[in-house]
Amino acid sequence: MVSKQLKNITVITNKDKDIDLKITNEVIKILNKYNCNVNGDSKADLVICLGGDGTIINNARKAAIDNIPILGINMGRVGYTAELETDEVYLLEKIFTGEYTYEYRMMLKVNDTYIALNDAVIRGTTSHIAEFELKCDGKLLTRYRADGLIISTPTGSTAYSFSAGGPVIDPKLDCFCITPICSHSLNTKSLIFSPDSVLEIINKCRDETDMILNLDGNNIITINYNSSVVITKSDIRVKMLRIKKDSFYCILNKKMSE
């Protein structure tokens, strides 16, 4: 018998990844077996998202606003945010036998308006070195001369931040990580901040050029000279449905070796 909490299920597919909808149809077949209302008009009890990390992250933000859990099926290359691979779709049956848990992921809040699951990236709009001031809780902490700054969540620590030399952070933790991109100073190391911190990044480019704020891979706003971006922990959290019992570091080791 289908649990009331998981009766209405929305299936979202990146059709560029599942071109013939083969995997999507496998998912729907399993859900129909348990008499689920798939993509109905009712508010979803679960979102199942098929695609790469970008697709899953974008839909996870939307689901989090309505406190709807999400389960990702990897159809991309790495798939850190996905719970299942395409050859593991059969494990969806565990949802209906109660063999699942929820894992909550911290998100960023930017300028009290935007949210991000992975990261906020601030970079210059010219080929010149960008210059930043970083304040924490209203106090000047340091200055950077770099191509940009990455402010990541633990979930985003395995993405752009990692490529820029940042640390891997267990996604169950709550914290911020700031990693400079191609730093032109001795401030090349990442910094970790508590989730209660209020971070402010100020555009201090000497040629008074603009900067761009990018959230989870999407350009959001322009940051003028002497303007700032304020980043805090969001009250909204992503609720990920977990079926497998593999630890984060087990998954990380497997993904890194592929």
Tell me the one-letter amino acid at 141.
Answer: L
The answer to whether 48 and 68 are in contact (CB under 8 A) is no
By C-alpha distance, which of 65, 52, 50, 68 is closest to 9? 68
Q: What are phi and psi of 255, to 5 degrees?
A: -65, -40
- The question of whether 53 is a catalytic residue gets the answer yes
The catalytic residue among 53, 147, 216, 246 is 53
By C-alpha distance, which of 183, 199, 190 is closest to 169? 190
Render 192-239 in DSSP notation, one character per residue: EE-TT--EEEEE--TT---EEEEETTEEEEEE-TT-EEEEEE-S--EE
**Active site positions, annotated:** 53
